[in-house]
Structure 1
Amino acid sequence: METNTLGWHLGEVSAHKLLKVATSNRRNPTQQGLSYSHGYRVSESPIVALGTLDQEGNIWTTLWGGEKGFARPVAKNVLALQSLLSVKGDPFLGALLELDENNGNNSLEGGGVIKPAGEGKMMSGLSVDLETRDRVKLAGRVLVASLDNNNSGESERAVREMQLAMVIDEGLGNCPKYMNRKEIHAHVPNPTVIGMKGGVKLTSQALGLIEQADMMFLSTTNGKTMDTNHRGGPAGFIRVLRNQDGEVILVYPEYSGNQLYQSIGNLQVDNRIGVVIPDFETSDVLYLTGETELLVGLKAAAVMPHAKVVVKIKVKEARFVKDGLPFRGVSLDRSPYNPPVRRLASEGLPGVVVGDDEGDGPVAIATLVKRHVLSPTIARYTFKLRNEKGRPIPAWKPAQYVTLDFGGELDQGWSHMREDDPQSLNDDFVRTFTVSNCLPEEMEEVTGEETELEITVRRHGPTTGFLWDYKFQVPLELPVLGFGGEDSFRIPTATGGGRSVFVAGGVGITPLLAQAPGLIKADADFILLWSLRSEDLGVVVDSLQRIPGLAQRTRLFVTGVEAENAIEKVNCLGTQGTFQRRLLQQDVLAVKEGQNGTKYYLCASPAMQTILEGWLQGEDFVSESFGY
């Protein structure tokens, strides 16, 4: 039985400290050499990701394979790989050829053997069997590589066969948590290469591949060894923060893993990274190399709300290869551990306004002081705000959001796998809620402990269930990570600029609640179309009674078995109309008759919002979903 004799390097220790993992309580499970079990698992895997550095020090990652057995042990601690590849498209090949460049052995026209000098150049690998969700990490050195002879007479033959022998110094079996299952089969590529050097912005093809990708592979180094690993999630988990000439930045969240933090540990001492993003259906592939920045806590949430650890990649060079991979894959099923896509603050989700210069503390502490139940599933919660360090709190604007951290109350601690409740491992319990009350317009910051903040939310999930059931025996204090929200969803108060129509579905009324008093005071031309079920009518009564003048601008559409009785309760409130039926397209379009410059503001469930957007094709509208 093999035993581990490897310790933790300084980068890993630094990562453990940063992310509050007790290094001393855990042993590094990485094994020396290539064990029998690891060798067998590699030979059963149809693809292997490989990483190395080119002569300029850039890290590149590639994907080889297509069928089981293309990679296999051939001697003690030696792994052999044989695969088709795109000669001009695969940057890993270019990195290998540069090994012998001083001897002139960098031509692609012939074949030949590449023998690195000394002990061999660093490289790493990750074998992946996506059907069984099995993977093995490998680290070592290039022993020898060869490119097949070009006997076809075509000096620019696009696809050639590559053979490589790798000495394995370290191996580690990895967990299957974020593997999206796929059936892999071999494919002969017909590559077309599009290079993007020097920070040139990504093409539409590259952006499309990133948007649909549910998997990527990355390689890092600590200067002595390399590490290749996998990152998976829902399609679109990789986000494009910036894409312009001279500056291309990608962002992805780090999910709950095995807490070894080997990749992040490498990035702590060397921020270089190489990434490959495959399209399994088309065999298109995007290769990237660049530098990283690790964001933790509030700094992560400022870029990507709901994420506590984020990796930013500043792309130095990119290469998109159409039909460049020697395999294709058919999706089978997604990992049950995948969280929802975590979008960027710049994509219209609430950002974070950090109160501390160093970003190491919450903007404020929110103490729950009151709960007012409005319907069987909706309640209004009132909090008082304070700042622990006595600093002013940034004031929120109408229709903005507050970001609250429930982690201290609900986080059950780290767990590697949890088959009975896989989604719980990805929940950091950071939530955003529309603020229901407004502040005086002239306020730029909030001071004093008497400032109140209200949210009106439906009970759905662990955090809202926690608020609903809280007993108040002990004060509930939640960190406020910040306020955010786009100005585009704020209705203008100026008159004469056209009519504004707010269309709400159920609790989608919340962005209007803080805006309505100011709109009514300014006599702005706006109408509310509110569709909801009869059991939620208590929210209507509460809202119309608390905001004088809102009823006269409201048309209600009520459904449900108690709709008739419920309507009788609101008829005395003075609405423009209350209808016992669903909202229809003609209801939405009728309010613009005779009005120039009508703009619609839509806030509803994703399903209803899709319907509304279909009705309003060609009209001026903005959308805000409460499905986050």
Structure 2
Amino acid sequence: MLKRIKVHDQHEGEIFVQTKRHTPSNMPMIVSNMISDDMPDQHSEFFTHLSYFAISTIDIDGRPWATIIVGSPTTLIRAISEMELNISAVLPKDDPFLSSIINTVNSPYRSFAGIGVDFSNRRRNKVAGFIATSNIVNDTLNMSLLTNENVGNCPKYITIRKLEYCKRNPQTAADYRNTDRISFNQECLDIINQASTIFLATRHTSTMSDNTSDLGINHRGGYPGFVRTYEENGHTYIVIPDYSGNRFYQSLGNIETDRVAGIVFPCFTSGDMLHVTGIAENIYDDEAECIMPRITLITRIKLTGYVWIKEGLNLKLIGPEQYSPYNPPIRYLATELEKMGKPSTVSTRNAKLIEIKKLTKLISRFTFELDEKVSFKPGGYVILDFAHLIPQTYQHMNNNNPQSLNDDYIRTWTISSSPPFNSNTNTFDATNQISCTIKHLPKGMISSLLHSQSNDQKSPLSCKFLGVGGEFTCFDNTNQTPQKLLFIAAGIGITPLLAMFEAVSQTKQKTDIVVLFSGRGDEIDLLKDFISSPLVSTITMFDSTGANTSKSFQVVNRRIQSDDFLNVSDLMNRQVYLCGPTQFMVDISSWLNQTGLKSEQIKTESFFF
């Protein structure tokens, strides 16, 4: 079979993105040297053992479409040589990849791009080239793929999952592949929102010669919800944040030149597949942050077509998924943050560290002075930006601290101090001083920075102040509190309760508080403010280390259990304020519900930063 020679030099779009992102000047040479014409033996073996494969091509209008093809329970791909792969698979009749092949079945050398991902171990390899032959026999699509681009990829952002072959019954739920007036129903939005794995298809059409044009397909991953959508003026847009990668920028480079992209969103639970295509653009720096705060590079796709096929994927998820430790937190659109009441704009205001008070071996209280006074509710949070204090260095991988790769050095902490209460107006006044009680985390860049400071430093640390917010408070709109409260916290989760307690003490309202605290060792000192207060009727600490005793309150040398809530006096009449690790809050809420306490009586701390 005649081999099509391929030039692997990076094109102007890839170099443009690399320049915008300040990659080393020799990056194009590095990338070109990593791409090979022939498949390495280990790649051939890898593809041969896969029973599923993501692949893309273009339709008659030149728009990229991506899909996932699945073979029999064990066989999909056969490596014929170092340049040829044979594939046999049954696809749904309306699969847009299949339709594109059928419409040009006699066209020689139709471009394709493929990526194999072994979800059991996060290994992946990319391949691209031409579909030399294709035919459909007994509903089976047979293709001979002639490859001339082969490259391995890193395992970042891949969700580990166990998949088994499952013969499904595909049904086309929507087929609007030639319209830009798209409005998704909730089921389609759910497919996007549940996805921790998508495949992004792109195209580059060379102005120089045919052997420098190509297609691309790449894996994109993150926590479910990492891809955001919105509607505007009758159009639907998809927004994908750029995470720290290998800095090749092949997909984004293609988008720079050709301005088109397609995505397949698989649901491995239901087998549903949502295929989309549209007009794509990369948006950088301040413009990007206006759309998605704290992200300086996004890809936005204005959809011009979609196909939704229920049960279009002959794979079934077995057991739980394991998300990548490299996944950054979900980033929301500015419009979404505004609806949540969260700050979404960049600020030039500053916060200066003016006092540090050590509370335990690892926990200190840090007091900041702000440029201006702010109003917040007791139990609220502050958002601070430390990026200008941290040297920006690129790392491809860091298994010891994977979260550091996408760290924007913006931190959200609960304010553990209360704003001053004005008894004349029965309101909390604005203040320019806030305190945060912060634990020193060994791998925490910012917590380590703060805990390295001292009160006698000649140049106090100063960071950017982005805003305050939060609705987790025991005060209503008239600044009244329930007469009976139950505070439940684990470790540093006690911080919003400290602020609420200080605020209740200021207002001098008649309130009865029961405190249940799960802590370890010297974290017992975090309870000092509650001891001897007439507002607090009972304090119980649960410490599985067995290191503590107290004459002032009960210390139980074990973890907190469901039966412990049966001993809380007048439980059914209390409002509960709960803060701690997610699973802790889930367990406690469930146990409280089992006692008969209503869900509306339980308030939990949560925020999106």
**TM-score (normalised: structure 1):** 0.74
Match for residue 62 of structure 1?
Answer: 67
Letter of the aligned partner of 2:570 in structure 1? Answer: A
Letter of the aligned partner of 1:416 in structure 2? Answer: H
Mapped to 1, the partners of 2:504 and 2:182 lie a distance apart of: 46
Change (3 A) 1:196 1:410: farther
Encode CA deviations 1:269-308: one digit per residue, 9 max, x unaligned. Answer: 4553322233445533332334556566677678777766
Please give the residue correspondences for 1:460-609 in structure 2 after superposition, counting only pairs within 5 Å.
460=441, 461-462=443-444, 463-470=446-453, 473=457, 475=459, 477=461, 479-480=463-464, 482-487=466-471, 489=473, 491-494=475-478, 501=485, 503-505=487-489, 506-514=491-499, 528-532=513-517, 533=519, 535-542=522-529, 552=535, 555-560=538-543, 561=546, 564-565=549-550, 567-568=551-552, 578-580=553-555, 584-586=564-566, 590=570, 593=573, 599-609=575-585
Letter of the aligned partner of 2:68 in structure 1? Answer: L
Mapped to 1, the partners of 2:536 and 2:229 lie a distance apart of: 40
Match for residue 15 of structure 1?
Answer: 17
Mapped to 2, the partners of 1:337 and 1:378 lie a distance apart of: 25
Match for residue 88 of structure 2?
Answer: 82
User: What is the CA-CA distance between 1:125 and the residue it aligns to?
Assistant: 1.8
Mapped to 1, the partners of 2:457 and 2:234 lie a distance apart of: 56
Match for residue 424 of structure 2?
Answer: none
Letter of the aligned partner of 1:491 in structure 2? Answer: F
Choose the corresponding residue for 1:338, options 323, 326, 332: 326
Mapped to 2, the partners of 1:144 and 1:71 lie a distance apart of: 15
Choose the corresponding residue for 2:355, options 370, 379, 398: 370
8 Å contact 1:501–1:600 — kept in the other structure? yes
Match for residue 416 of structure 1?
Answer: 396
8 Å contact 2:420–2:430 — kept in the other structure? no
Change (3 A) 1:626 1:364: same
User: What is the CA-CA distance between 1:229 and the residue it aligns to?
Assistant: 0.5
Please give the residue correspondences for 1:94-105 in structure 2 after superposition, counting only pairs within 5 Å.
94-99=99-104
Mapped to 2, the partners of 1:299 and 1:526 lie a distance apart of: 49
Match for residue 257 of structure 1?
Answer: 245
Please give the residue correspondences for 1:84-123 in structure 2 after superposition, counting only pairs within 5 Å.
84-88=90-94, 90-99=95-104, 114-116=105-107, 121-123=110-112
Letter of the aligned partner of 2:66 in structure 1? Answer: T
Letter of the aligned partner of 1:321 in structure 2? Answer: I
User: What is the CA-CA distance between 1:552 and the residue it aligns to?
Assistant: 2.2
8 Å contact 2:109–2:132 — kept in the other structure? yes
User: What is the CA-CA distance between 1:394 and the residue it aligns to?
Assistant: 6.8
SS state at 1:178 partner: coil
Letter of the aligned partner of 1:70 in structure 2? Answer: L
Change (3 A) 1:530 1:245: farther
Match for residue 216 of structure 2?
Answer: 227
Mapped to 2, the partners of 1:295 and 1:481 lie a distance apart of: 25
Mapped to 2, the partners of 1:309 and 1:417 lie a distance apart of: 20
- Report whether the alignment pairs 1:189 with 2:159: no
Choose the corresponding residue for 2:436, options 455, 465, 484: 455
8 Å contact 2:293–2:345 — kept in the other structure? no
Letter of the aligned partner of 1:7 in structure 2? Answer: D
Letter of the aligned partner of 2:526 in structure 1? Answer: V
Change (3 A) 1:261 1:544: farther
Change (3 A) 1:245 1:280: farther
User: What is the CA-CA distance between 1:375 and the residue it aligns to?
Assistant: 2.2
Mapped to 2, the partners of 1:556 and 1:245 lie a distance apart of: 56
Mapped to 2, the partners of 1:519 and 1:98 lie a distance apart of: 72
Match for residue 431 of structure 1?
Answer: 411
Letter of the aligned partner of 1:354 in structure 2? Answer: T
**TM-score (normalised: structure 2):** 0.76
User: What is the CA-CA distance between 1:194 and the residue it aligns to?
Assistant: 1.6
User: What is the CA-CA distance between 1:142 and the residue it aligns to?
Assistant: 4.3
Match for residue 199 of structure 1?
Answer: 182
Change (3 A) 1:268 1:623: farther
The unaligned stretches of length 5 or more in structure 1 are 100-113, 150-159, 356-361, 387-391, 569-577
Mapped to 2, the partners of 1:203 and 1:381 lie a distance apart of: 44
SS state at 1:86 partner: coil
Match for residue 114 of structure 2?
Answer: 125
Match for residue 152 of structure 1?
Answer: none
Encode CA deviations 1:489-523: one digit per residue, 9 max, x unaligned. Answer: 57314167965746241433333455566666666
Mapped to 1, the partners of 2:345 and 2:373 lie a distance apart of: 10
Match for residue 51 of structure 2?
Answer: 46
Mapped to 1, the partners of 2:399 and 2:55 lie a distance apart of: 30
The unaligned stretches of length 5 or more in structure 2 are 207-213, 422-426
Match for residue 211 of structure 2?
Answer: none
Letter of the aligned partner of 1:232 in structure 2? Answer: G
8 Å contact 2:6–2:149 — kept in the other structure? no
Encode CA deviations 1:200-235: one digit per residue, 9 max, x unaligned. Answer: 33444x45554554322111234443210112345x
Mapped to 2, the partners of 1:350 and 1:22 lie a distance apart of: 40
User: What is the CA-CA distance between 1:145 and the residue it aligns to?
Assistant: 2.9
8 Å contact 2:66–2:199 — kept in the other structure? yes
Match for residue 381 of structure 1?
Answer: 366
Change (3 A) 1:242 1:32: closer
8 Å contact 1:8–1:28 — kept in the other structure? no
Mapped to 2, the partners of 1:495 and 1:179 lie a distance apart of: 47
Encode CA deviations 1:1-50: one digit per residue, 9 max, x unaligned. Answer: xx995333333233223333234455252467741415555444433211
Letter of the aligned partner of 1:170 in structure 2? Answer: E
Letter of the aligned partner of 2:112 in structure 1? Answer: M
Letter of the aligned partner of 2:580 in structure 1? Answer: A
Encode CA deviations 1:508-556: one digit per residue, 9 max, x unaligned. Answer: 33334555666666666765443224733433335789xxxx7526743
- Report whether the alignment pairs 1:35 with 2:24: no
SS state at 1:480 partner: strand
SS state at 2:91 partner: strand
- Report whether the alignment pairs 1:71 with 2:77: yes
Change (3 A) 1:551 1:194: farther
Match for residue 173 of structure 1?
Answer: 152
Letter of the aligned partner of 2:16 in structure 1? Answer: S
SS state at 1:29 partner: helix
8 Å contact 2:353–2:369 — kept in the other structure? yes
8 Å contact 1:187–1:326 — kept in the other structure? yes
SS state at 1:466 partner: helix
Match for residue 354 of structure 1?
Answer: 345
Encode CA deviations 1:546-575: one digit per residue, 9 max, x unaligned. Answer: xxxx7526743234456543x53xxxxxxx
Choose the corresponding residue for 2:312, options 324, 334, 356: 324
Mapped to 2, the partners of 1:122 and 1:352 lie a distance apart of: 45
Q: How many residue pairs are counted as aligned between the two chains?
A: 565
Change (3 A) 1:302 1:484: farther
Change (3 A) 1:245 1:162: farther
Letter of the aligned partner of 2:101 in structure 1? Answer: L
SS state at 1:85 partner: coil
Encode CA deviations 1:443-482: one digit per residue, 9 max, x unaligned. Answer: 9998xxxx43321122334132332233575746454362
Mapped to 2, the partners of 1:500 and 1:207 lie a distance apart of: 42
User: What is the CA-CA distance between 1:58 and the residue it aligns to?
Assistant: 4.2
Instruction: State the identity as a percent.
Output: 23
Letter of the aligned partner of 1:263 in structure 2? Answer: S
Mapped to 1, the partners of 2:249 and 2:87 lie a distance apart of: 27
8 Å contact 1:201–1:247 — kept in the other structure? no
Letter of the aligned partner of 1:115 in structure 2? Answer: N
Superposition CA RMSD, Å: 4.4
